[in-house]
Structure 1
Amino acid sequence: METSNELRLNVEKALEEIRPFLVTDGGDITLISIEDNIVKVRLEGACTNCSVNQMTLKNGVEATIKRYAPEIKEVVEVR
């Protein structure tokens, strides 16, 4: 079982992996919190109004985070 600190580090590593793709499109992502194995993030810049941001969130961000931290259940966007 990972400590919450290890879990946060693994989630941050996942975000660092995906961030360059978001930045290329004029956006970014910020980790807000991890509660009960649910990651809360804020999409920023061009990502906030992008029509495919929910697909990016689920297929890109959530899939990448789950590779680093398989115990994560879901990634949700907060505004």
Structure 2
Amino acid sequence: MKEEVQKYLDKIRPSLQADGGDVELVEVTEEGIVKVKLLGACSGCPMSTLTIKNGIERTLKQNVDGVKEVQPV
């Protein structure tokens, strides 16, 4: 599952980089929890929770079987 998650994060990454940010995959647990670290402008952005939940989590849940939640670290 980790490889699939990374593949979709790589597809999301250009839109984050366009705003001066980035995302790093930290861990994918057996329970389907994906842990990511937002970098650059995204790390301190007040909209980072929305980026994770409405952007990254939604995309991963739709495209990668077994993803239950995305959590920031």
Shorter-chain TM band: over 0.9
Tell me what 2:65 maps to: 70
- Partner of 1:47, secondary structure, is coil
Contact 1:13 1:68 in 2 (8 A): no
What does residue 51 of structure 2 align with?
Answer: 56
Select which of 3, 7, 10 maps to 1:9. Answer: 3
Distance in structure 1 (CA, Å) of the matches to 2:54 and 2:46: 14
What is the total number of aligned residue pairs between the two structures? Answer: 72
Instruction: Indicate which of 41, 45, 48 corresponds to 2:40.
Output: 45
Shift of 1:67: 2.0
Superposed structure 1 runs of 4+ greater than 3 Å apart: none
Give RMSD over aligned pairs.
0.8
Q: Spell out, residue by residue over 1:5-51, the C-alpha distance to the aligned partner (whole angstroms, 9 max, x if none).
A: xx111101110111001000000000000112100000000001111
Identity within the alignment, %: 44
Q: Structure 1: any 5+ residue segments left out of the alignment? A: 1-6
